[in-house]
Each structure stands twice: as C-alpha cells, then as structure tokens.
Amino acid sequence: MPRYDYTTVGHVTCDVLPDELIEQEGPGSPVSDRLRHPLGRPGGTALYSALQAARLELRTHILTSGDPVEIERLLGPLRAEVDLTVLPAAHTTTLLTHGEGAARHQRLLAWAEPLAPPEVDTAILHLAPVARETPPTWSGRADFVGLTPQGLVREWDAAGEVALAPLRGELVPARCEAWALSEREGERCVPQLAHAAAAGTVVAVTDGARPTTLHLPGGAVQHVPVPPVAAPCEDLGAGDVWAAAFFIALHEGRPPPQAAAFATAAAGVRLAGVGPGAIGNRAAVEARLKRSRP
C-alpha cells in the first residue's frame, strides 16, 4: 500500500479580498512590500483539493512551499485534517481576488518558491499549480496522476496583474490519467488537450452551470449535466473540489460520466457554504448526488 491515498503538489495560498487590503504610500519593491493585509484566508488548489480528499476519508498529504509559520497559521484547525510538508520560502503565495466565476480577477501580491520534482508515495498524485510552481516530473510511486493546469496558463506583469496565457508544452507532465479544467483554461490548452486525449487521458472541461464536457480515450465526447445549486454562497475552491472528487471517483473505478456526476455533487456541496469549512464529507456528497438523479 502507498503511504498516502492522495497527495497534492502546489502552493497553499493566502487569499485576500479587496476590503482586507491597504496599500501603503511609496513605490516599494516588490509588490508585496507596498501592501499590508490581515491574515486573509487559506486557499489554493492544493489545499481545497486535499481537504476534499480528506473528507472523503483518504489519507492525504500536501506538498507546498511558502513561509512555514504563515501557512501553519493560515490553516489553523484545518491543519489536523492533512499531513503537510512546507518547503521554506521567503513569501507565501498571496492572491488578491475580485469577483466570481468568469468575472474573477486576481492580482499576485507575493509568490513562493517553485517546487522541485517531489518524491512521492501515493495512490493519487494531483499536480495542482496556482502560479506556474509545479514541475512536470516526480520520483517514487504514483498509481494515478491528475492535473489541474489552471496555474500553468497564468502569467502576471510587474504589478502582479494575472492574465491567462497559452500553455507551454514543457510544463505538462508526460503521464496523466486525467485532467480537470475550466472552459476558459481549455481555450489556452488546445494542442495539449488534443495530445492528452489521444494518449488515453480522460479530460474534463467544466463550464459553470453548463454541462461538463468529457473527452474520452478513443475520441468520444460526452456531456454531463450540472444540476442547479439553489442558493450558492461563493465559488472559491469549487473547481478544486470538483477536480479532487473527479480524480478520486475515477481511481475508485467509476466510469467517467459517473465520476463527473460525483464531482459535480461535491462542488454543489461546497457552493452552498462559505470557505473551506463548506467542503463536504462522503455522506454529504453522496446525498446530494442521489437528490440530483432524475
């Protein structure tokens, strides 16, 4: 048996909302030197996906880089749910976020060190970049590899303003069992997505409340409906929760359409609450999945 059931590799972030930010006078350098913010909230694909895995009763590990003291403080009581390895860096990756969904706009206030190829011992390895920090290689055991390329299609200017950019092929691992990404991200990955699907990778493209598109080995395409969420609270981390649940369901042997339905139920549970505490356990996800069936 591998040591872990689920391992995420990527930056745990400090997420800051506009009303939490104070910009100081003077030019300062880098951007983070001109800004003061309170604690903020913990975020990042590596965290949200790991918490979903842990609440689905998997032994979970996060491998990240940043300021170890700040990350421990950010996680607070969430720290008890996962094993955590923090490679020390001068800063923790910090993102200022405006808006939701397709209208979301982000500014990178600080960036931790990029991650060297990790050594892993895990059933599921989730490469979970938020800002081009993950390597395309690793050593050790990984029975199933999932990629969320969100952070590989991001770039930022000197002021930290984040924009989407075409995916560079050298950032993509040679082996992946599954990808999960949004429609907007997919537009920056067309050649790589075609190559992944041809190589037998299951590719899931989400599009908010619209059906999820599955590109399956052999060239088949399927669309999986997304049941509405009655009173959504916020969507931060919902895509990360979706990806983790999708990878886990695939690894458990569910066919891709069923895995996508399970992932959609997990994201629906997350959308109904606020912050990482809203991520559901297996009972909550299965109950929502059951209610969504015709």
Domain ranges of the chain: 4-292
Other C-beta atoms lying within 10 Å of the C-beta of residue 216: 17
| Residue 211 pLDDT greater than 60, yes or no | yes
Task: Say which residues have a Cβ less than 8 Å from residue 12's Cβ, sequence separation at least 6.
Answer: 42, 43, 44, 46, 47, 62, 64, 66, 71, 74, 75, 86, 92, 93
Q: Are the C-beta atoms of 4 and 32 separated by less than 8 Å?
A: no
Q: How many CB atoms lie within 10 A of CB 95?
A: 22
Q: What does the alpha-carbon distance between residue 220 and residue 97 come to, in Å, rounded to a whole number?
A: 36
pLDDT tens, residue by residue, 63-110:
999 999 999 999 999 999 999 999 999 999 999 887 665 567 889 999
The chain-wide mean pLDDT, for the chain, equals 90
The fold of the 4-292 domain, in CATH, is: UDP-N-acetylmuramoyl-L-alanine:D-glutamate ligase (3.40.1190)
Instruction: Say whether 229 sits in a helix, a strand or coil.
Output: coil
The token duo for 239 is: 């895509």
Low-confidence winner among 125-129, 187-191, 270-274 (lowest mean pLDDT): 270-274
Return the DSSP state at 161: B
Question: Once rounded to an integer, what is the mean pLDDT over residues 27-39?
Answer: 47
Give dist(CA 11, CA 86) in Å, integer. Answer: 9
Within 10 Å of residue 253's Cβ, how many Cβ atoms? Answer: 8
Tell me the whole-structure pTM to 2 decimals: 0.92
